[in-house]
A and B are shown apart, each in its own frame.
Chain A
């Protein structure tokens, strides 16, 4: 699928070549086919080595090339997705049938390395991750783009916050770069700075859980239709991402969408239909009279025994979490074009239910990508995407007193008590907690509706060109406008609401973000003999505007969801922010005959977020790759590529908005408005967080690149890490942002891939990835402290010099330990690994399996804590050590009262993706439909098919605090992760 983009580039290049008048002396003709399947390859490139001349194959894979003298030539034959080949031709050897071998190891893929340039993977000096459309969504249908990246690139750790429909994931590239905030990678979508914010929904306000990080909101990458994506490139660290400067500390994810290709208009329609069910439920405990007599206080026992003797048993896990959930995705794409104009238009409707009643995710996407040649030298491209997503995520996770969480609530409800409504629709009062969760699930609303418009443009002009040099100007950029309307509604008749002075709670939010970016660059390329030089320079400008308004109404007229129908009307939040950034960049690349490839570059950035908004911060980079196997002296036939590489780069992470302000907050009391001194003193000297990274590794290809090995080691050091310096609270101000901390991440990334069996009727491709990261707080700069999660009693995190900030500590107190508590675990995995296998059988049948493995890394499992408190944990009343105290009141380690009880290993193996597809043979389709239908593909697939883990929870991947760099592993009554099974049907017209 990487084909189309290079195709576009190469056609442009060739058209530029064809400007020159040619004097034919002899003609080379021939055809190009796939070595394994013998299918013809259209649009393959044939270029004469060391000359600016070539051609492409036609729709039947045939080509003709005129040579203007009688000398022998060497042709460089290439096609995207295939390994290029050198073929000799001459007047007597002018009919060529060339067979190309599939580039299973992606050596030939083009990777973006600058803001206006790209390089072939085989020449790359960085371990840039790349995921093609086929890898991304070719095996099964994933709801969101980030969810489709699991296990596909070494060093990319994706973590789901929960199983609610509509996303909610975090991506961590090479460990932790920031101690504060989410520290998520920058998303560049067709050159646009696309928002991946996790926006507030207000659920945590209404449920009382706390701050908006407990809303379990989606991250807005969920809006994007993954099927539109042609390719994703992942710049994992500063050494590759330096040219993005500010905002690139956590890495950069570059998403490129599909574009039209010259040729007949291609229409394709595909439909997935599927079903979701919980991947894993735990079961609940059975009750007995003996257990009731143990669990409840004496005064309470008679009523409980009476309830128990009614003989009802309800498995509330099944009741709430295992409901029929239909998944449907429809996609229509139309693409094509001519020499001047090409287009790709797509429409997508996704409608996926959640396994909890009244939850689900819908997405409507319309995209038009148009490329147009204004003249021979001026090209213009335009990518427009309108998106609408509607997410209903229900009520799960943390709460405080309001009871608006299924899992939190049912942790306390014994299976013999019936919460279901009676024949009149009246929900019984839940005597075990403050709410009837069935009533909340049936009548509560937690909806987020996003309308979004993303527009990218690119204008490229060839200003000057001759045989050996070319100067081109690009002007590009775009905008991302996002409007998110949220509603959280709990009707007045709910149990908890009736217990309030003003029953009924409605929180309506409107959030708007508007990002614009422009970039202007000049790129000059020059060939001096075997040396290719490319220089680029330019500027960027970014603007981000955000605003939010949340209004709350309490005391509602029955059935009404309008704020005016409430007794207590309140402006809950109104917040605006505006950020501007600007930068300049220069980059010089040099390639000596594909043997020695070096790059140096620098970017300077400034930002209104920084203490000094006019100071330019410099982000240099340098890299070198040696293609040893391309040197003439190389004669080890089995090793076709051997490339040691080294790269260095620096980036920065943005300062949080408002860090420089010392403000007076508004407050109302007794009918008057007051100004109160904020608890934060702004730091007007705040610096951005900076990171520098040294990465080195080796890429090797064996047996004509059938087998490839990629190994990388990196050391990423961050400086000026921002954390709040806590002042003595007695001065009346609590914090000021400081730049004291420093972090170090070291890691290894390994990849081995290859075609193990390569027969015409059977092909087996296999890929193994392994990565590990070790993070360390090398400098804290402020006194050791603990923070995050729910305090030392239940497990929290240690911030101490010489320790990983992912260290979990908790009660009991140990005076000698830094931070003063016992060490219980670490959230950081020992390693991650993935296995991908695909089998092509008889050309038409393809089976792919992706297995994802996380070893080590602990969670703080407070779901288990709650269920133990409510006596509902499966096996609660068993007594393993026979001391008369049930297990549910005696969790290890002894003395059974410490935080260590809830710190649990969260290793897992997941069968992430399985897909089986059958493609109807073209010839038989031709016969059957008389050419009306060009392709039919049928398939079945599964996402999250199996989970293997010892972890006691729905999913070892969970985060009640959503995406954040630390404390992103706390398990509180999450929405269970779904297993998704699909059938697929695809037609090409």
Chain B
């Protein structure tokens, strides 16, 4: 019996001492690389992954902005029978006004706040990883940082326009020490300086092909000179918000604007289907669903006869989409026809917008002829003939805003909401179709306030 005991216990004891059961092996993340792995001595491949990651972060705003901002500006309705709050809350029915944790935005502001700031963070990580790498040459580093800053400039405009007069944080490099909120105008000036730096960095990167791979969204722009043109286009949009009319024209000069070129030319967010995402704005024609982005009825009612943009962008359904909620029922006959398939890319700035910006700048500078010329490029493309109306500044601005409604309809930016606010015309956005209200802006998301409370004591 003792032998049996020994036979069992001795190996057990030996086994324990040989591999100590109290010893725990370090567990590394088995699913993801760590942030630390790219912070120092990143390889070129790692920088490439971060760069592509930035392109992915760069498009995270698309769904939320398309659904909500375009609804705020009544370019579309986002009808959703599964959750009536997409109607009641987003349309401001029964006097609802955005609060700090508003439906669809959560306490972080979601796609309108947290997502663009994540892209900004991603760009910061990319820049520092690239600059810290010994495997990239200086010109490559400049190219990467120029591209990253260009995206940052674009992304900063989203939170700025979301909260408008409430202002945003522009010093966001240290996650535990974000800077104070600055006014809208100051934020826009900061964005301008970022875009200017982007231009300088790109200028220092030579004049050849972009040294890393960009997605097909930049297919026509993947050289350093062409990326500088994209950067200038973004700057032109920004300058409109800055009311720097001359600045718009200067920027447009360096951009890819082409008065006789394809109006659709411009960089885009690609969607290629799994493992990539699908185009989130695509719906099958006549789909028997009750969750869908539809054309706001005012777009049909206000359309100019024969406008080719109407027939090209709006698809008339056999059956209207009706959503009955405990508030007013909504019925829409038209859906979005812009996307041929669910892998069609979504442009984020187009030649058409640049020409409209040119018209707007000239109109504001009193350069009527140039303004009308630009307007006519747009009108003729839409098959509605030359502009024949008054050429007062107000008349031209009204015309430009009208053309922007149809030319830039439902682009993932909420153009009409922002435009109406820029020209103090929010009250011109129709609410009769849905008995809602038009929001001016959002308050800071609750989590921003909470952080200040947390560090403030």
User: How far, in whole Å, are A461 and B114 apart by their CA atoms in the complex?
Assistant: 62
A569 within 8 Å of B by Cβ? yes
Q: Which of A768-817 contact B (CB under 8 A)?
A: 782-786, 790-793, 813
The reply to whether B450 and A783 form a contact with Cβ atoms under 8 Å apart is yes
Which chain A residues lie closer than 8 Å to B213 at the CB level? Answer: 672
A434-B288, A576-B30 known; A461 vs B125 contact (CB < 8 Å): no
Which chain A residues lie closer than 8 Å to B37 at the CB level? Answer: 664
A297-B324, A783-B454 known; A378 vs B447 contact (CB < 8 Å): no
A495 within 8 Å of B by Cβ? yes
The reply to whether B270 and A669 form a contact with Cβ atoms under 8 Å apart is yes
Stretch in A159-167, A249-257, A697-705, A731-739 with 4+ CB within 8 Å of B: A731-739
The reply to whether B29 and A663 form a contact with Cβ atoms under 8 Å apart is yes
- Determine the interface band of chain A, counting residues with CB < 8 A from chain B: 35 or more
Contact flags (1/0) for A611-623 with B, using CB distance below 8 Å? 0011000000000
A584 within 8 Å of B by Cβ? yes
The reply to whether B38 and A433 form a contact with Cβ atoms under 8 Å apart is no
The reply to whether B30 and A429 form a contact with Cβ atoms under 8 Å apart is no
Of chain A, the residue at the smallest CB distance from B100 is A820
| Smallest beta-carbon distance B23→chain A, Å | 8
B253 within 8 Å of A by Cβ? no
The reply to whether B21 and A541 form a contact with Cβ atoms under 8 Å apart is yes
Of chain B, the residue at the smallest CB distance from A784 is B450
Contact flags (1/0) for A575-597 with B, using CB distance below 8 Å? 11111111010000000000000
Contact flags (1/0) for B439-453 with A, using CB distance below 8 Å? 000000111111111
Task: Identify which of B168, B325, B449 contacts A869 (C-beta below 8 A).
Answer: B325
Task: Identify which of A463, A673, A730, A732 contacts B124 (C-beta below 8 A).
Answer: A732
A757 within 8 Å of B by Cβ? no
B33 within 8 Å of A by Cβ? yes
Which chain A residues lie closer than 8 Å to B27 at the CB level? Answer: 578-580, 608, 613
Stretch in A88-96, A529-537, A677-685 with 4+ CB within 8 Å of B: A677-685
A671 within 8 Å of B by Cβ? yes
User: How far, in whole Å, are A607 and B25 apart by their CA atoms in the complex?
Assistant: 10
Which chain B residues lie closer than 8 Å to A786 at the CB level? Answer: 101, 107
B211 within 8 Å of A by Cβ? no
| Smallest beta-carbon distance B118→chain A, Å | 5
B14 within 8 Å of A by Cβ? no
Q: Which of A890-923 contact B (CB under 8 A)?
A: 897
23 contacts between A and B (CB under 8 A): A296-B324, A375-B5, A401-B291, A461-B5, A461-B8, A496-B289, A607-B24, A663-B29, A669-B52, A669-B272, A675-B53, A676-B122, A728-B169, A728-B447, A728-B452, A729-B109, A730-B178, A731-B117, A782-B450, A783-B454, A784-B450, A786-B107, A820-B99
The reply to whether A374 and B172 form a contact with Cβ atoms under 8 Å apart is no
B57 within 8 Å of A by Cβ? yes
A501-B278, A541-B21, A730-B168 known; A676 vs B57 contact (CB < 8 Å): yes
User: How far, in whole Å, are A188 and B8 apart by their CA atoms in the complex?
Assistant: 25
The reply to whether A429 and B125 form a contact with Cβ atoms under 8 Å apart is no
Query: Apart from A496-B288, A668-B276, A679-B114, what are 5 other A-B pairs with CB-CB below 8 Å?
Result: A295-B324, A401-B289, A606-B24, A669-B270, A727-B175
Of chain B, the residue at the smallest CB distance from A405 is B82
A463-B5, A662-B35, A783-B454 known; A670 vs B288 contact (CB < 8 Å): no
User: How far, in whole Å, are A518 and B329 apart by their CA atoms in the complex?
Assistant: 63
A732-B121, A734-B114 known; A401 vs B80 contact (CB < 8 Å): yes
B305 within 8 Å of A by Cβ? no
A665 within 8 Å of B by Cβ? yes
Contact flags (1/0) for B271-284 with A, using CB distance below 8 Å? 01111111000111
Which chain B residues lie closer than 8 Å to A576 at the CB level? Answer: 30-31
The reply to whether B215 and A669 form a contact with Cβ atoms under 8 Å apart is yes
The reply to whether B38 and A675 form a contact with Cβ atoms under 8 Å apart is yes
A656 within 8 Å of B by Cβ? no
Of chain A, the residue at the smallest CB distance from B5 is A461
Which chain B residues lie closer than 8 Å to A475 at the CB level? Answer: 8, 12
A726 within 8 Å of B by Cβ? yes
A933 within 8 Å of B by Cβ? no
B83 within 8 Å of A by Cβ? yes
| Smallest beta-carbon distance A285→chain B, Å | 14
Which chain A residues lie closer than 8 Å to B8 at the CB level? Answer: 378, 459, 461, 475
B290 within 8 Å of A by Cβ? yes
| Smallest beta-carbon distance B106→chain A, Å | 8
The reply to whether B24 and A732 form a contact with Cβ atoms under 8 Å apart is no
Of chain B, the residue at the smallest CB distance from A555 is B273
User: How far, in whole Å, are A613 and B25 apart by their CA atoms in the complex?
Assistant: 9
The reply to whether A676 and B284 form a contact with Cβ atoms under 8 Å apart is no
| Smallest beta-carbon distance B103→chain A, Å | 6
Q: Which of B1-36 contact A (CB under 8 A)?
A: 1, 4-5, 8-9, 12, 16, 21-27, 29-36
The reply to whether A539 and B175 form a contact with Cβ atoms under 8 Å apart is no
Q: Which of B167-187 contact A (CB under 8 A)?
A: 168-169, 172, 174-176, 178
The reply to whether A732 and B85 form a contact with Cβ atoms under 8 Å apart is no
The reply to whether B32 and A666 form a contact with Cβ atoms under 8 Å apart is yes
A300 within 8 Å of B by Cβ? yes
Task: Identify which of B34, B94, B448 contacts A664 (C-beta below 8 A).
Answer: B34
Which chain B residues lie closer than 8 Å to A395 at the CB level? Answer: none
Which chain A residues lie closer than 8 Å to B38 at the CB level? Answer: 664, 675
A725 within 8 Å of B by Cβ? yes
Q: Which of A822-847 contact B (CB under 8 A)?
A: none
| Smallest beta-carbon distance A696→chain B, Å | 35
Which chain A residues lie closer than 8 Å to B174 at the CB level? Answer: 731
| Smallest beta-carbon distance B339→chain A, Å | 10
The reply to whether B84 and A675 form a contact with Cβ atoms under 8 Å apart is no
Give the interface centre of B85, B124, B450 by most chain A CB atoms within 10 Å: B450
The reply to whether A672 and B52 form a contact with Cβ atoms under 8 Å apart is yes
Contact flags (1/0) for B189-224 with A, using CB distance below 8 Å? 000000000000000000000000101110000000
Which chain A residues lie closer than 8 Å to B168 at the CB level? Answer: 730
Task: Identify which of A539, A730, A868 contacts B448 (C-beta below 8 A).
Answer: A730
Of chain B, the residue at the smallest CB distance from A570 is B274
| Smallest beta-carbon distance B86→chain A, Å | 11
A989 within 8 Å of B by Cβ? no
Contact flags (1/0) for A496-534 with B, using CB distance below 8 Å? 101111100000000000000010100000000000000
Which chain B residues lie closer than 8 Å to A518 at the CB level? Answer: 21
Which chain A residues lie closer than 8 Å to B274 at the CB level? Answer: 552, 568-571, 668
Q: Which of A422-463 contact B (CB under 8 A)?
A: 429, 433-434, 459, 461, 463
The reply to whether B32 and A665 form a contact with Cβ atoms under 8 Å apart is yes
User: How far, in whole Å, are A606 and B32 apart by their CA atoms in the complex?
Assistant: 24
A297-B324, A401-B82, A669-B52 known; A732 vs B22 contact (CB < 8 Å): no
The reply to whether B21 and A726 form a contact with Cβ atoms under 8 Å apart is no
Task: Identify which of B16, B81, B175, B450 contacts A732 (C-beta below 8 A).
Answer: B175
A412-B81, A667-B53, A733-B175 known; A782 vs B454 contact (CB < 8 Å): yes
Which chain B residues lie closer than 8 Å to A783 at the CB level? Answer: 449-451, 453-454
Which chain A residues lie closer than 8 Å to B118 at the CB level? Answer: 676-677, 679, 732-733
User: How far, in whole Å, are A679 and B121 apart by their CA atoms in the complex?
Assistant: 10
A434-B289, A663-B33 known; A791 vs B341 contact (CB < 8 Å): no
The reply to whether A668 and B289 form a contact with Cβ atoms under 8 Å apart is no
Task: Identify which of B36, B52, B83, B329 contacts A296 (C-beta below 8 A).
Answer: B329
The reply to whether B35 and A663 form a contact with Cβ atoms under 8 Å apart is yes
User: How far, in whole Å, are A299 and B448 apart by their CA atoms in the complex?
Assistant: 45
Top 5 closest A-B pairs, CB basis? A732-B121, A670-B215, A570-B274, A674-B52, A499-B287
User: How far, in whole Å, are A786 and B29 apart by their CA atoms in the complex?
Assistant: 31
User: How far, in whole Å, are A679 and B106 apart by their CA atoms in the complex?
Assistant: 15
The reply to whether A669 and B24 form a contact with Cβ atoms under 8 Å apart is no
The reply to whether A539 and B22 form a contact with Cβ atoms under 8 Å apart is yes
The reply to whether B326 and A889 form a contact with Cβ atoms under 8 Å apart is yes
User: How far, in whole Å, are A539 and B24 apart by their CA atoms in the complex?
Assistant: 14
Task: Identify which of A297, A606, A674 contacts B54 (C-beta below 8 A).
Answer: A674
The reply to whether A732 and B31 form a contact with Cβ atoms under 8 Å apart is no
Which chain A residues lie closer than 8 Å to B35 at the CB level? Answer: 662-664, 677-678
Which chain B residues lie closer than 8 Å to A574 at the CB level? Answer: 31
